């Protein structure tokens, strides 16, 4: 089902691409399986696309075309982000014949950004505004939680060794529960005993996901069960935790200001979209209509 927004046709392929990105994001968070929230995600996709198109239309009405040098630079930067033209065409599905459409959307994106810059040019927050924003949004300005662990790893090279290795670590765990020294047993049993038994402090995203899921679920002094990751079988003892704490305002003033301005900018964008929606003509169409097809198969995020 395509959309026609103020006479501009938006093909279903664009709506589907937006839907797929949203669904993939929530799947990575572990908040969805299969198709249980597809209707909700299609609704998000529809609203996102409508918002972007209305902003692009309004920016085109308010502003002249962007300088070609700016468009050239933005396109070159975009292609570079994909590792070159080959990666860009492979990942986006665009072709050399569609580069004029890519340039069209890049120019539209630059124009929207310029419009929002102009609408936000008066944002000069006082120190009191920034401190209030900081206090009201402390969760944005926290240090990352860290844990420290000691580690025994066994990485069997053949399938028939897995049961034996698993049983070996189970017996090691029993000895540790009985009071044996972790470092001593690690030097004897771990495949990495010549490297790091003590992994020191680490944050989320630094080690294997399976390892971190176990480590961050433990309390200091706790011994894990034997578990597996792509690297082998693990047994860990959590030795310390550093909880997330607020970063001092005095140390992160520029970061607070950046987030304040960006938050206000997004609020103004949402307000503008609502104003544009109130006067827009938005239709869902199943068949071809006599409307200019201005949206290409690929669009950048605005």
For residue 276, give Cα distances in angstroms to 58, 92, 160.
Answer: 8, 29, 66
Instruction: Identify whether the C-beta of residue 215 lies closer than 8 Å to the C-beta of residue 147.
Output: yes
Q: What pLDDT score does 43 carry?
A: 94
pLDDT < 50 positions in the chain: 289-302
The two counts, helices (H) then strands (E), for the chain are 10, 7
Tell me the pLDDT tens digit for each residue of 134-161.
999 999 999 999 999 999 999 887 766 8
**Structure-block tokens of residue 70:** 């700016």
Q: Say if residues 10 and 49 touch (Cβ distance below 8 Å).
A: yes
Alpha carbon distance 25, 32 (integer Å): 10
Q: List, in order of start, the domains of the chain with CATH numbers.
A: 2-126+252-285 (1.10.4030.10), 146-242 (3.10.50.40)
0.85 cut: is pTM over it?
A: no
pLDDT value for 31: 66
Taking alpha carbons only, the member of 166, 171, 137, 81 closest to residue 260 is 137
- 3-state secondary structure (DSSP) of residue 245: coil
Spatial separation of the C-alpha atoms in residues 302 and 283, rounded to whole Å: 22
CA distance 297 to 20: 14
Query: Which pLDDT value is given to residue 296?
Result: 40
Contact 10, 287 (CB under 8 A): no
For 223-268, the pLDDT digits (tens) are 999 999 999 999 999 999 999 999 999 999 999 999 999 999 999 9
- Written as six digits, the tokens of 9 are 């046709």
């Amino acid at each position: 089902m395509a959309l026609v927004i103020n006479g501009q046709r938006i093909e279903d392929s664009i709506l589907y691409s937006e839907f797929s990105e949203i669904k993939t994001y929530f799947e990575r968070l572990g908040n969805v399986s299969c198709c249980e929230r597809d209707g909700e995600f299609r609704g998000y996709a529809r609203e996102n696309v409508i918002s972007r198109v209305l902003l692009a239309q309004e920016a085109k009405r308010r502003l002249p075309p962007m300088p070609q040098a700016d468009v050239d630079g933005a396109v070159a930067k975009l292609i570079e982000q994909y590792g070159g033209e080959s990666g860009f065409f492979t990942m986006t599905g665009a072709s050399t014949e569609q580069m004029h459409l890519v340039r069209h959307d890049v120019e539209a994106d630059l124009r929207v950004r310029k419009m929002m810059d102009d609408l936000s040019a008066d944002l000069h927050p006082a120190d009191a505004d920034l401190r209030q924003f900081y206090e009201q949004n402390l969760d944005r300005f926290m240090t990352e939680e860290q844990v420290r662990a000691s580690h025994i790893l066994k990485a069997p090279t053949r399938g028939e060794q897995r049961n034996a290795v698993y049983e070996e670590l189970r017996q090691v765990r029993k000895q540790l529960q009985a009071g044996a020294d972790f470092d001593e047993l690690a030097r004897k049993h771990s495949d990495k005993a010549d490297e790091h038994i003590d992994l020191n402090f680490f944050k989320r995203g630094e080690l294997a996901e399976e390892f971190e899921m176990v480590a961050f679920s433990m309390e200091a002094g706790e011994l894990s069960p034997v578990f597996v990751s792509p690297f082998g079988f693990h047994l860990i003892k959590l030795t310390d935790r550093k909880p997330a704490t607020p970063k001092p305002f005095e140390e992160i003033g520029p970061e607070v200001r950046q987030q304040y301005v960006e938050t206000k900018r997004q609020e103004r964008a949402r307000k503008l979209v609502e104003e544009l929606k109130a006067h827009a003509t938005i239709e869902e169409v199943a068949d071809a209509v006599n409307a200019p097809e201005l949206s290409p198969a690929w669009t950048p995020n605005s």
